[in-house]
Structure 1
Amino acid sequence: MVDWRLARATGARLSGRGPQVTTGEASDVVAELRDAARRAQAPVREFTGLAAPEDATPALVVDRPRWIEANLATFSTLIGPKLDELHAESSGPARQVSGVVGGLELGGAMALVSSRVLGQFDPFWTGPAEEPGRLLLVAPNIVAAEQKLEVDPTDFRLWVCLHEETHRVQFTANPWLPDHLRGLIQEFTDQTDSESLGHVVQQAMRAARGEIEFSLTELFQSEEQRRILDQATGVMSLLEGHADVVMDGVGPEVVPTVVTIRRKFTQRRESAGPISRLIGKLLGMEGKLRQYRDGAVFVRAAVDAVGMDGFNAVWTSPETLPTREEILDPSLWLARVHG
């Protein structure tokens, strides 16, 4: 249902280069981002209290096409087999057309997202030396953001790395977590047939054109699909909220202009464009901002109640992760896990 090579080529062609910089300036940005990723490791580990190995995974500074390539490789691994299964059910001519259309649509979507994302930890990638994941820092987008926000570049790059380093710590300190997320994705795809997937794609395209509003939680009607989506939403809100709390906790110690950066960056989030709003609708949430906000409120409430060590019980197993309902009402998680 997706021509992956066409998706990669389309995404690279449409992604744009970002700010124009000289070769020397680009080299300086890459060197500073690598150094910032290294500098972020110790304070994040100290603040979180999580025992994660240092330098266990590579930190890669990439451009937009390389980010697209990395994410398409992950997508093809996670959902490619299911798409191939559904693809095989269609006729020969329909199979060929759907692959081209799917490649073009996915490539276009990836190009749009690639122009906004600053960094990402990919927990599903395994390197040649069995590295459990990789940290991606999208250099042109970081430079574009710091220029637009008019903030100190050195401070902003370290601040971004604090957030992404927290994600690296979350996964490398808790090696069961990638498998749990992979399992949720597998469960969800197993519940999806070609008819329901086609309906979702059709409705998504209508929403993209502004004809309708909808969310995945409304389209997937089975109780099992809703359960899986709720679990995934709870986990992602936890991960993003925790990373924001760590940024704000560590920031004042290592980023001199953190107050200015946080204020301007929050304003940037709240003025998200139509693509970000569409993604938020698809996830059944009020935009990406809510995921950060609700998750951070949960983390702060839990830490206030039981301390950081008590909060870290959340990383014990899949059973101690918060549900979507518990993210919105931390007292439920506290009662269930701490009694």
Structure 2
Amino acid sequence: MADNTENNRPDGSDDNNDKDPFAEMFSNLFGGAGGGMDPDNLPEEIQKAMGMQNDPAAMQAMFRQMQQLMGAMASGESGPVNWSLAIDSARQAAAGDDPSVTAPRQRAIADAGRLAEMWLDAATAFEAPTAEFTAISRAQWVTKTMDTWKVLTSDVAESMSAAMTTAMRDQAPEEMKGMLAGAQGMFQNLGGAMFGMQLGTAVGGLAKDVFGGTDIGLPLAGNAPLLVPANVSAFGENLDAPEQEVLLFIALREAAHVRLFTRAPWLRSHVVGAIEAYARGIHIDMSKIEESIRDIDPSNPESFQNMAVEGLFTPQHTPAQETALAKLETALALIEGWVDEVVAAASANLPSATALREMLRRRRATGGPAEQAFASLVGLELRPRRLRDASAFWSTMLAERGLEGRDDIWSHPDLMPTAEDLDDPAGFGTRRKLAEAEDSELDEALNKLLSGGFDTPDDDGDDEAPTGPTDDSK
């Protein structure tokens, strides 16, 4: 057998393994490959560059944070977001006071869901889904919704990760730039890990605040109704309303959202498409990124998670973004306005319904701290800014068209009301008839053209040969 000793490292690993030397160096440096490293062993010039040569505790704190980042990088996951780290960070942020759902609590949620569905049967023409209500923990909410967050943030993540990569490379101390030359792949992975950590922290914060799967106006966890009982209970603690009334009212909202998205399956892609169109035009303010990275406090072990993200997006919108934003805000308002009206009708006999309706209107229109933090991260607030106008619109449609006529407006995306319809609900029917007449005339003209039904010069007798001298008259 040939002796391959010269091709092997002392630890038995193969020199020919295809490894990123910079990622391997940082993994070893920050303890990613084993039990960690003493910061005192760093070269003095690097300690000086990092500003912590006289503060071993601060160095250790930073190393613990970097170990998590480098561990994520060592996993081999690439792309603008390290999703494994995002999920782990979200679970950590949602952890703590996250009680497991007990069997009695699950039964209480299921009972509230069945009653909510029964009340909704008289308030909408949309039938109830076959799936029953389920109760989940905050950590389970993270797991169930993460696939949707991937869709909603992918375009923003790509822009953010590229900006972070550039800024980290440019902001490196001069003493270290020589060591890091050519480490583009490492910086990309580190940028993806940092954004994943930020995104996960934001989603984990939302997990402590949301009631179910549809709080932002989209079915984040699929078309099955669910509630997070820990958050529902926390919301109702300081209210005058009885706990059962709060639970039932929130179950009504969740069930109404699910019925709408089940009956109008095109609606989810309509909203997501507007979000994606807006996100594609987002530009990152590089000066803000650089400032944020300079402000990282190595003595704070959470400094990477807490890195400021507000104001990173340039405020100027492109025309395409303005169009997408208007489409998104109108759609969100129409969704929330319809749910608001339907739930108000279904809960008419609930003593606390009026107060709860107003409270949740305000909550949805302003958002809590967690939702605002998420908006700062992705550069977009998912707010139904015209919720009250949309509620008035659906109220008018009910008076004019009845229950089935109102809900039939959701039957096709071409019937989607516009911002003009929110301004003037009474004129919606007239504008819709005019639009349908124009479409009918266009279809008729197109059919004639395709079938040869239009008169041609040969058909009307006006195509006689021109008079003039002929050969016979010469």
Q: TM-score, normalised to structure 2's length?
A: 0.57
Q: What CA distance in whole angstroms lies between the structure 2 residues aligned with 1:156 and 1:12? A: 27
Q: Paired residue for 1:298, among 366, 385, 393? A: 393
Q: CA deviation at 1:34?
A: 1.6
Verify the 8 A CA contact 1:17 1:64 in the aligned structure 2: no
Q: Counterpart in 2 of 1:147?
A: 237
Query: Alpha-carbon deviation of 1:7?
Result: 1.4
- Matching residue of 2:64: none
| Aligned match of 2:323 | 227
1:130 equivalent in structure 2: none
Answering whether residue 211 of structure 2 is matched by residue 118 of structure 1, we say yes
Describe the SS at the equivalent of 2:238: helix
Match of 1:10 in 2: 89
The answer to whether the Cα contact below 8 Å between 2:365 and 2:384 also exists between their aligned partners in 1 is: yes
- Using the alignment, how far apart are the partners of 2:194 and 2:235 within structure 1? 32
Alignment-derived partner of residue 448 in structure 2: none
Distance in 1, matches of 2:288 and 2:160, equals 16
Question: Paired residue for 1:70?
Answer: 144
Paired position in structure 1 for 2:172: none
Q: 1:197-230: per-residue Cα shift (whole Å, max 9, x none)?
A: 4349958x98x96976x9x8x8362222221221
Matched, 1:307 2:371: no
Q: Distance in 2 between matches of 1:283 and 1:258?
A: 31
Number of the residue aligned with 1:322 = 417
Is 2:224 the counterpart of 1:134? yes
Query: What residue in structure 1 maps to residue 261 of structure 2?
Result: 171
| C-alpha spacing 1:202/1:169, structure 2 compared with 1 (3 Å) | farther
Identify, as 1 or 2, the structure richer in strand. Answer: 1
Partners of 2:348 and 2:374 in 1: CA distance? 32
Contact 1:9 1:107 in 2 (8 A): yes
The change in CA–CA distance for 1:228 and 1:261 in structure 2 (over 3 A counts) is closer
User: How far does residue 336 in structure 1 lie from its aligned partner after superposition?
Assistant: 2.4
Q: CA deviation at 1:97?
A: 1.4
Please identify which structure carries the higher helix content: 1
Cα distance change of structure 1 residues 201 and 10 upon mapping to structure 2, 3 Å threshold:
farther
Once superposed, what is the RMSD of the aligned Cα atoms? Answer: 3.8
Q: Distance in 2 between matches of 1:266 and 1:187?
A: 27
Question: CA distance change for structure 1 residues 111 and 164 in 2, over 3 Å: closer, same or farther?
Answer: same
Q: Which residue of 314, 333, 337 corresponds with 1:237?
A: 333
User: What is the CA distance between 1:150 and its match in structure 2?
Assistant: 4.0
Find the residue that maps to 1:134 and give its secondary structure.
Answer: coil
The Cα offsets for residues 55-75 of structure 1, whole Å up to 9 and x where unpaired, read as 1x4533111121122222222
TM-score, structure 1 normalization: 0.76
In 1, the alpha carbon distance for the partners of 2:97 and 2:396 equals: 39
* Contact 2:114–2:132 (8 Å) recurs in 1: no
Contact map agreement 1:240 1:291 (CA 8 A) in 2:
no
Rounded to whole Å, the distance in 2 between the matches of 1:62 and 1:156 is: 17
Distance 1:248 1:53, change over 3 A: closer
1:35 is aligned to: 111
Q: 4-13 or 293-302: which moved more?
A: 293-302
Segments of 5+ residues of structure 1 without an aligned counterpart are: 127-132
Structure 1 counterpart of 2:135: 61
Rg comparison, structure with higher value: 2
For 1:46, the equivalent position in structure 2 comes to 122
Higher RCO (Cα < 8 Å, 6 or more apart): 1
1:87–1:14: structure 2 CA closer, same or farther, 3 Å change rule?
closer
Aligned-pair distance for 1:167? 0.7
Equivalent AA in structure 2 for residue 153 of structure 1: E
* Pair 209,265 (structure 1): closer, same or farther in 2 beyond 3 Å: same
- Offset, 1:160: 0.6
Q: Is the 8 A contact 2:211 2:231 kept in 1?
A: yes
Deviation at 1:294, TM superposition (A): 3.3
**Which residue of the other structure, out of 324, 347, 358, is the alignment partner of 1:251?**
347
Residue matched to 2:438: none
1:129 maps to none
- Which residue identity does 1:243 align to in structure 2? V
Could you report, residue by residue, the CA deviation over 1:127-168 in whole angstroms, capped at 9, with x for unpaired residues?
A: xxxxxx232311110011111214212221111111111111
SS in 1 for 2:264: coil
- How far apart, in 2, do the equivalents of 1:242 and 1:201 lie? 42
Return the alpha-carbon distance in structure 2 between the equivalents of residues 19 and 80 of structure 1. 28
CA distance in 2, matches of 1:39, 1:234: 31
Matched, 1:100 2:185: no
Change (3 A) 1:117 1:309: same
The CA distance in 1 between the partners of 2:98 and 2:317, in whole Å, is 44
Given residue 319 of structure 1, which amino acid in structure 2 is its aligned partner? D
Q: Which runs of 5+ in 2 are unaligned?
A: 1-79, 166-183, 293-306, 435-474
Letter in 1 for 2:82: D
**Residue pair 1:37, 1:162 contacting (<8 A) in 2 also:** yes
CA change 1:249–1:202 in 2 (3 A) is farther
1:53–1:115: structure 2 CA closer, same or farther, 3 Å change rule?
A: closer
Secondary structure of the equivalent of 1:252?
A: coil
Give the CA deviation at 1:239: 0.9
In 1, distance between residues paired with 2:392 and 2:288? 35
Alignment deviations for residues 30-68 of structure 1 (CA, whole Å, 9 cap, x no partner): 211122122222322331112x3531x453311112112
**C-alpha distance 17-147 of structure 1, shift in aligned 2 (>3 A):** farther
Q: Aligned residue pairs: how many?
A: 316
Distance 2:158 2:364 in 1: 36
Counterparts in 2 of 1:82-93, with a 5 A limit?
83=157, 91-93=184-186
